[in-house]
Structure 1
Amino acid sequence: MNRILVPTDFSPEAENALKVAAQLAKEYDSEIYLLHLLELPLDLIDPMSKGSELPEAMFFMQMAHKKFQNVIESDYLEGITIHERIQNNEAFEGIVDTAKKDNIDLIVMGSQGASGFKEMVIGSNTEKVVRTSDVPVLVIKKDHNNFKIKDLVFACEFTDEYKASFEEATRFAKSINAKMHLLMVNTPNGFRTTAEAEDKMNSFLNGNKPDNYTLNIYNDRTIEKGILNFASAIDADIIAMSTHGRKGLSHFFNGSISEDLVNHAKRPVVTFKI
């Protein structure tokens, strides 16, 4: 975990994410890439455009830089190498592009979550990054003065398509010395007996077992509720999930449990691309 990207709009939620990133950076000797996206209209910054207003664009850039300086001077960032990034781009696209360009190992984002009509129609930038990012995304919902992960819940369907993301999650858990609680949620629509579920999980793990883990089968009405309720029952520190990266109508009609959890879970959620 050498490079951590933290997108910021200088909100309290973004600061919560930055504080967690700072703790991780100090623990693992990482550098932080702090990114702010202005999302200015192209005709405002294009010198060839008739409507170009470069002085106004420069004003916004200077204001962002000043806010950066105030943030970087925070006590909790002392001793950490910080790289300042200011770009003009749509938020989620700029975050994903920056992660690729700077060879980022982990994205840490703050989120308020969303629900109901707002969630269905608009979605959040965090949700969009979770859906499209090729690197793991850690979503933080609240202030964590002491961010320690001892118990990590990893839930999936334990089929071959999840093996790559499971291996990433296993490496992540090992790097932070966390115990993995592997979870299969049993629902009425996809019910399996305990023996069937255990056989499926053990077959999936054949030759690829984490160093420190438990196997768990949990019955609930939906997969999302099962994950949330199981995590609450064991007082887990974080929920880890795989995400399919669906886009457009496919995402609208099929949805994504990972993205729903990002919106609804009170605990931190870390996602890994399938």
Structure 2
Amino acid sequence: MKKILVPIDFSEHSEYALRVAATIAKQQQAEIIVIHMLGLSEAIFTKDEAQETAEAIYYLKLAEKRFSTFLDTDFLKDIKVTETVQNYKVFSELNEVAKQNDVDLIVMGSHGSSGLSEVFAGSNTEKVVRTSDIPVLVIKHKIQEFSIEQAVFACDFKMENIKAYHKAKKLFDLFDATLHLVYINLPGDRFRNSNQIEKRIKDFLFKADSGNLENFEKVYIQNDYSVESGIFNYCKKINADIIGIPTHGRQGISHFFNGSIGEDIANHAHEPVITFKI
């Protein structure tokens, strides 16, 4: 891992994310890129050129000043930190920033969301999770010493998840973490008996691991009423440090009606969550 991108809005949740990114950067000898999105109103750019330039410079200088204070912290000592300020307002643009800078990981703070705000607006973190081709690590709380010892990767073991599975294994290997695979068996139409589940998992692992089925013993089948509660209950059982999950990155009307389990987990989990784009 060489580069970590951290979106900053100067909130305490941004600090939580930056603190975790710093720990990872020290472990992996990586550098950190911090980005602040100005999100200036289009009204500014309809003014005359001189006034537009003056206002843009003012907001840029203000952001730079806040950066100098925000980044003046002991936990960033001896880490290369690059600052950038952009007038981005659409969070999908972070994906392009990450690609242009060859970023390996996005670390983002989140307060989560619930109720009507989640249905109609969602959180900024959710928007990043939905659009990012790069793994997104979501941090909800202050973590003094971030470490990954017990890592959970949850999926339905459909073949479309193989790419995300490979990404998760590669990343968790960097931390020398113990990998736990979990399948959530649900009641109703999606219920499967033991033979059906085992066949699906073995077929998946046979293809994903080039015929090697040794990871089959790492798979736990959790029976529960929803995917969310199943994952959360299993994580409590093993005292997981992180939850890894694939996400389709649904957008628009299909996202509104179908939702995304990856985004829901990222929004509601207490543990850090890392999403991998399918």
Q: Per the shorter chain, which TM-score range?
A: over 0.9
Q: Distance in 2 between matches of 1:29 and 1:42?
A: 40
Match of 2:198 in 1: 198
Note if 1:239 corresponds to 2:243: yes
Correspondence list, 1:160-239, <5 A: 160-189=159-188, 190-206=190-206, 208=209, 214-239=218-243
Note if 1:257 corresponds to 2:256: no
AA aligned opposite 1:11 = S
> CA deviation digits over 1:16-40, x for unaligned, max 9?
0000000000000000000000001
Quick check: 1:131–1:259 contact (8 Å CA) kept in 2?
Answer: yes
Correspondence list, 1:5-24, <5 A: 5-24=5-24
> CA deviation digits over 1:167-201, x for unaligned, max 9?
11110111111111111101002111223212221
Q: Distance in 2 between matches of 1:273 and 1:184?
A: 18
In percent, how many aligned pairs have the same letter?
A: 44
Quick check: 1:170–1:210 contact (8 Å CA) kept in 2?
Answer: no
Quick check: 1:105–1:135 contact (8 Å CA) kept in 2?
Answer: yes
Quick check: 2:149–2:241 contact (8 Å CA) kept in 1?
Answer: yes
Quick check: 1:162–1:242 contact (8 Å CA) kept in 2?
Answer: yes
Q: Distance in 1 between matches of 2:8 and 2:91?
A: 12
Match of 1:70 in 2: 69
TM-score calculated relative to the size of structure 1: 0.95
AA aligned opposite 1:97 = E
> Secondary structure at 2:102's aligned position in 1?
coil
AA aligned opposite 1:205 = L
Match of 1:57 in 2: 56
CA RMSD of superposed structures (Å): 1.8
Match of 1:42 in 2: 42
Quick check: 2:202–2:213 contact (8 Å CA) kept in 1?
Answer: no
AA aligned opposite 1:121 = F
Q: Distance in 2 between matches of 1:13 and 1:23?
A: 16
Q: Distance in 1 between matches of 2:213 and 2:174?
A: 12
AA aligned opposite 2:204 = F
Match of 1:29 in 2: 29
Match of 1:2 in 2: 2
Quick check: 1:153–1:231 contact (8 Å CA) kept in 2?
Answer: yes
Q: Distance in 2 between matches of 1:93 and 1:160?
A: 26
Aligned residue pairs, count = 273
* Distance verdict in 2 for CA 1:46–1:210, change over 3 Å: farther
* Distance verdict in 2 for CA 1:98–1:210, change over 3 Å: farther
Q: Distance in 2 between matches of 1:53 and 1:134?
A: 34
Q: Distance in 1 between matches of 2:46 and 2:247?
A: 37
Could you tell me which runs of 5 or more consecutive residues in structure 1 were left unpaired when the two chains were aligned. none
> Secondary structure at 2:4's aligned position in 1?
strand
Match of 1:85 in 2: 84
Q: Distance in 2 between matches of 1:2 and 1:121?
A: 36
Quick check: 2:206–2:213 contact (8 Å CA) kept in 1?
Answer: no
Q: Distance in 2 between matches of 1:165 and 1:62?
A: 40
Q: Is the deviation greater in 57-66 or in 259-268?
A: 57-66
> Secondary structure at 1:134's aligned position in 2?
coil
Quick check: 1:180–1:210 contact (8 Å CA) kept in 2?
Answer: no
Quick check: 2:185–2:224 contact (8 Å CA) kept in 1?
Answer: yes
Q: Is the deviation greater in 209-218 or in 151-160?
A: 209-218
Quick check: 1:4–1:104 contact (8 Å CA) kept in 2?
Answer: yes
* Distance verdict in 2 for CA 1:79–1:45, change over 3 Å: farther
Q: Is the deviation greater in 84-93 or in 252-261?
A: 84-93
Q: Distance in 1 between matches of 2:43 and 2:97?
A: 23
Q: Distance in 2 between matches of 1:86 and 1:210?
A: 47
> Secondary structure at 1:92's aligned position in 2?
coil
Q: Distance in 2 between matches of 1:152 and 1:109?
A: 19
